[in-house]
Chains A and B, each alone.
Chain A
């Protein structure tokens, strides 16, 4: 029985810890499928986390905070799209600049607003749901019925994106733009427009991931609080071979590793805690080592120049 409760608690916490990574990974999947790498989603998540807290405090509604965070994320995505799609600049470098910008804007904004007053503002964050009143059921209750609303929405978004890629015209267009931009263009598709939209929507999803951290998982913003989750999300995308559902699964692996290390840490007080904190990062390094060398979108990272190479 104890074992069941332990597994249940780890899984429930693992899902919660994985959700920000899932959201960011879904956003990155969309962008990369259209042919654009964004290594700056860590920066977008930070901006999303900050804007969500500020928005929730100012409006009194976590949903408004989430909406504003997604808007800010979309704006950050659009900046990346402008430089990498419209100006056709080196995408990795633009992503690094976006990372700087996100670190700066979130830290700067925080110190100007919530961080300026010594007292912590009361943050109206999201509370876990109790779906059908079953969250208390031992074992599966906390896992299936006691999560945040955003968790369910994240899974829904992943399914929707998978369906979009597999069965809709829109999905075909996005894939065509990422795989054969020249062919897509000759079929009358505005390659750059599609890419711009995908990267912006991807930014909104990363912003939502940041928001989950700051108004659902924790209630508050700390500078640099994403702690590499944006990069974990990129790892998810690659390891999941650009499939949204697989990306969710890989993110879950990282989330469970994180949940496990927190628990094992408290069970083994004699071992320095730092050895546990590094676990998810080690899992990511190992996973990247094992799971690379795959077929990426053929035009990934390559700007589209009509009539050019």
Chain B
């Protein structure tokens, strides 16, 4: 009985009511919306493949978020880092060799560009103590504008009609690995990234440092670590993940640089990683879940049942649910409830 009176239960009820209420306000039936979304995402080939395709970048970026949030570093500017990595890779693509080596270099350039963009925030954080939440998001706005210039200026296609670059060489495209679909070898890249990240987090000294710095910066300093330098490094590393995701998207799906090709992925990746408590092994599962949600709701929105931004409401609600649920066991039973 008292359990249902707990404040986190109110939080959960409120958040669920918010989503259901939003659907009702649109004059739609929540069950119908859910059914249509599930139907599209899980029981149509196109919907499921679309979700699988989106899972790749969301997984890679979710891993970057998991790494940085573990260290208490809030990189919310992955969208900018993705742009920086993609632009660098496409810009230098004409000089790359073909084949596997070329593709590897293309992806490495993506990582380098993203790491450099994240590294700016990292440097400001490490050297000057500048808050990364502000710098990373500001750098995203800068990157978005620079991309807008690049695809209309120096990197625009030779035809000069559409704001986009010329396609990269076919030899730099990640091959399709499932015949008859667009599922590309980026899948394997994502799998590799999961394994590597999980290994670093679980086994490596680096992962241990991340956790210590994230949980208790002064203890980390006492143990001879340099929390500021580690935080700066983390921003570059997670930026590298964002850049990798961008390069994979271009090499695997789009084949060229254009605007808005990964809309809001960096923000969605935060929800992806938080929901599985920053556990790298579970990031792909979460990424698939959110991708299914996107695929399902996208088609529901096209049928004009509910407007598409419902996805953002749900993302917010899911993170709030996660917060309420994670508070549950940790709460001090007596006293803590007195205020509020």
**Interface residue SS majority, chain B:** helix
Q: Which of B131, B146, B320 has most chain A Cβ within 10 Å?
A: B320
Q: Any chain B CB within 8 A of the CB of A277?
A: yes
Q: Which residue of B lies closest to A194 (CB)?
A: B339
Given the known interface contacts A228-B138, A231-B134, A278-B142, the answer about A97 and B323 at a Cβ–Cβ threshold of 8 Å is yes
Contact B311 A104 (CB under 8 A): yes
Tally of chain A residues near chain B (CB < 8 A): 60
Q: Which residues of B contact A238 (CB under 8 A)?
A: 131, 134
Contact A227 B141 (CB under 8 A): yes
Q: Which residues of A contact B128 (CB under 8 A)?
A: 288-290, 292-293
Residues 314-325 of B, flagged 1 when their CB comes within 8 A of A and 0 if not, give 111101100110
Q: Which residues of B contact A190 (CB under 8 A)?
A: 339
Contact A87 B309 (CB under 8 A): no
Q: Any chain B CB within 8 A of the CB of A6?
A: no
Residues 268-309 of A, flagged 1 when their CB comes within 8 A of B and 0 if not, give 000010110110011011001110110000000000011110
Residues 19-39 of B, flagged 1 when their CB comes within 8 A of A and 0 if not, give 000100110000000000000
The stretch among B184-192, B193-201, B267-275, B280-288 that forms the contact with chain A is B267-275
Q: Which of B14, B22, B133, B149 has most chain A Cβ within 10 Å?
A: B133
Q: Which residues of B contact A292 (CB under 8 A)?
A: 128-131
Q: Any chain A CB within 8 A of the CB of B11?
A: yes
A299 to chain B, nearest CB (A): 15
Q: Which residues of A contact B67 (CB under 8 A)?
A: none
Q: Which residue of A lies closest to B153 (CB)?
A: A272
Contact B317 A284 (CB under 8 A): no
Q: Which residues from chain A sit less than 8 Å from chain B, CB to CB?
A: 39, 43, 79, 82-83, 85-90, 92-94, 96-108, 111-112, 190-193, 196, 223, 227-228, 231-232, 234-235, 238, 272, 274-275, 277-278, 281-282, 284-285, 288-290, 292-293, 305-308
Q: Which residues from chain B sit less than 8 Å from chain A, CB to CB?
A: 7-8, 10-11, 14, 18, 22, 25-26, 74, 76, 120, 124, 128-131, 133-135, 137-139, 141-142, 145-146, 148-149, 152-153, 267, 270-271, 274, 306-317, 319-320, 323-324, 326-327, 331-332, 335-336, 338-340
